[in-house]
Structure 1
Amino acid sequence: MHAVILAGGKGTRLRPYTTCVPKPLVPIGDTYSILEIVLHQLRAHGFARVTLAVGHMGHLIRAFVGDGSRYGLNVDYTDEVTPLGTIGPVLNLLGSLPETFLIMNGDVLTNLDYGAFLKRHAQGSAPVTVATYRREIRSEFGVLDVDESGERIVAFREKPSVPFQVSMGVYAMTRETLRRYEPGQVLGFDTLMLDLLDSGELPGSDLFGGYWLDIGRPEDYDTANEQWSTMQHVLLPHMNLSAAD
């Protein structure tokens, strides 16, 4: 199984932590970087090959990860000279990828079984399967439903919550889905989703109920470090982590 990790962003929302290091290399709990956790997980879930799409401070990622042998993986790289969007860097790799493969952001902490997720996608018919997570927005105010005249209230809800599903930044992809696009073009996840929906090719949703944290902001990074002592054995159950870690 082959995974493509998107690790080329500048991490501007995570500053000042990303001033001197790329976001995938920021440490969690003074033990592992985000990227190391992901690489260990991928190996444990049956992956053998990983391609790192690097850009900003990519030389540091190359120096840190190397050929991936210390993680039990075969790691290679693709350089993003100019920003190509979420999916754009993958278009240059299609010739070297298997028919189904994993794409994921390099700033995700989750105990999702990446191998089982990819296999579920391969067994289905969706052009792409998105790992999704339940979230909800709670209103700070009482919400009024008003009739068409705008003069009469017909319903009232006190600080309601609206449930929805969000993308976890982890995607199982079928290679044929991307052949319609030209290598080198800018292609965001949003554009891909809208194109598929417009053509009637419905993407799949794989709802996950475990642990997931997208480390995009300083407060998310602080949360990850605060939770590390209790979550390290959940994220890396196959590792021999001591209490001192």
Structure 2
Amino acid sequence: MHAVILAGGKGVRLRPYTSTLPKPLVPIGDQYSILEIVLKQLSSQGFTTVTLAIGHLGHLIRSYVGDGSRWGLEIDYRTEESPLGTMGPLLSLEDLPEDFLVMNGDILTDLCFGELLATHRAAGAPLSVATYRREVKIDFGVLTTTGGRIREFAEKPTLDYRVSMGVYALNRKVLSRYTPGLPLGFDELVLDLLADGTWPLDYAFDGYWLDIGRPDDYDRANAEFDALRPVLLPE
């Protein structure tokens, strides 16, 4: 099983932590970086090869990770000379397996990546998206209007959404229409599939998930890590 980890972003929202370190290398707890936790999880779940798509401060990631042998992985690298979006770095990768995992390098979760990939393969899906339930509280009275008249009213409703976790399984055929070297976002890929009537698979997940995008997310991850360590890194 093969995984591509997207680790090329500048981590602007996580400054000042990312001023001197790429976001995947910021420490969690006293022992691990985010990226090391992810690599240990992938190895324990049967993945054998990983491609790291790097950019900002990518030389530090190369120096830290090396060839991946300490985790029982074979790791290679793809360097972005300019930002290519979420899916753009995949377009120039050679020898990708028919189905593979793609994930952001700044996620803490106990999602079983191997099960996601197996479910994706069994379904024959072009794209499978790990999704998470989010509730958004609206602090206003919400009106639905038609023709200048109020038809519905809800006082401070809570809206329920399923959001992308930043973890996907992909069939390489869906990338064949796009030009290597040009940016390609996750949004563009999904909208193109929907326009074609080719429905991505929803892989619903209700365990632990934290996207470390902002300083308060990072502080939360460190505060929770000791309690979550047995879940994130089972022996």
TM-score range relative to shorter protein: over 0.9
Q: Relative to structure 2, which stretch is displaced further, 175-184 or 31-40?
A: 175-184
How many angstroms does 1:155 deviate by? 3.9
How many angstroms does 1:126 deviate by? 1.8
Distance 1:26 1:215 in 2: 10
- Superposed CA offset, 1:124-179 (max 9, x none): 122100000000111112323445333xx554322111101000000000011111
Amino acid at match of 1:231: L
TM-score (norm 2): 0.97
Q: Relative to structure 2, which stretch is displaced further, 139-148 or 196-205?
A: 139-148
Distance 1:21 1:57 in 2: 7
Q: 1:210 aligns with which of 194, 207, 210?
A: 207
Q: Relative to structure 2, which stretch is displaced further, 59-68 or 139-148?
A: 139-148
Matched, 1:118 2:117: yes
Matched, 1:173 2:170: yes
* 1:222 match: secondary structure: helix
Distance 2:51 2:151 in 1: 56
TM-score (norm 1): 0.93
* 2:194 match: secondary structure: helix
Q: Classify 1:19/1:162 alpha carbon distance in 2 versus 1 (closer, same or farther; 3 Å).
A: same
* Corresponding residue number in structure 2 for 1:101: 100
* Corresponding residue number in structure 2 for 1:139: 138
Q: Which runs of 5+ in 1 are unaligned?
A: 239-245
Report % sequence identity. Answer: 61
CA radius of gyration, larger in: 1
Q: What pairs with 1:28-107 in structure 2 (closer than 5 Å)?
A: 28-93=28-93, 95-107=94-106
Q: Which runs of 5+ in 2 are unaligned?
A: none
Q: Classify 1:183/1:148 alpha carbon distance in 2 versus 1 (closer, same or farther; 3 Å).
A: same
- Superposed CA offset, 1:53-75 (max 9, x none): 00000000000000000011001
Amino acid at match of 2:84: L
Distance 2:137 2:15 in 1: 28
How many angstroms does 1:89 deviate by? 0.5
* 2:78 match: secondary structure: strand
Matched, 1:224 2:221: yes
* Corresponding residue number in structure 2 for 1:196: 193
- Superposed CA offset, 1:68-119 (max 9, x none): 00011001101101111100101111x3111000000000100000011100
Distance 1:182 1:143 in 2: 43
Q: Aligned-residue CA RMSD in angstroms?
A: 1.1
Distance 1:101 1:147 in 2: 46
* Corresponding residue number in structure 2 for 1:149: 148
Amino acid at match of 2:233: L
Question: Which 4+ runs in 1 deviate beyond 4 A?
Answer: none
Distance 1:184 1:144 in 2: 45
Distance 1:85 1:198 in 2: 20
Distance 2:64 2:234 in 1: 23
* Corresponding residue number in structure 2 for 1:236: 233
Q: Classify 1:78/1:147 alpha carbon distance in 2 versus 1 (closer, same or farther; 3 Å).
A: closer
- Superposed CA offset, 1:13-34 (max 9, x none): 0000001100000000122000
Matched, 1:7 2:7: yes
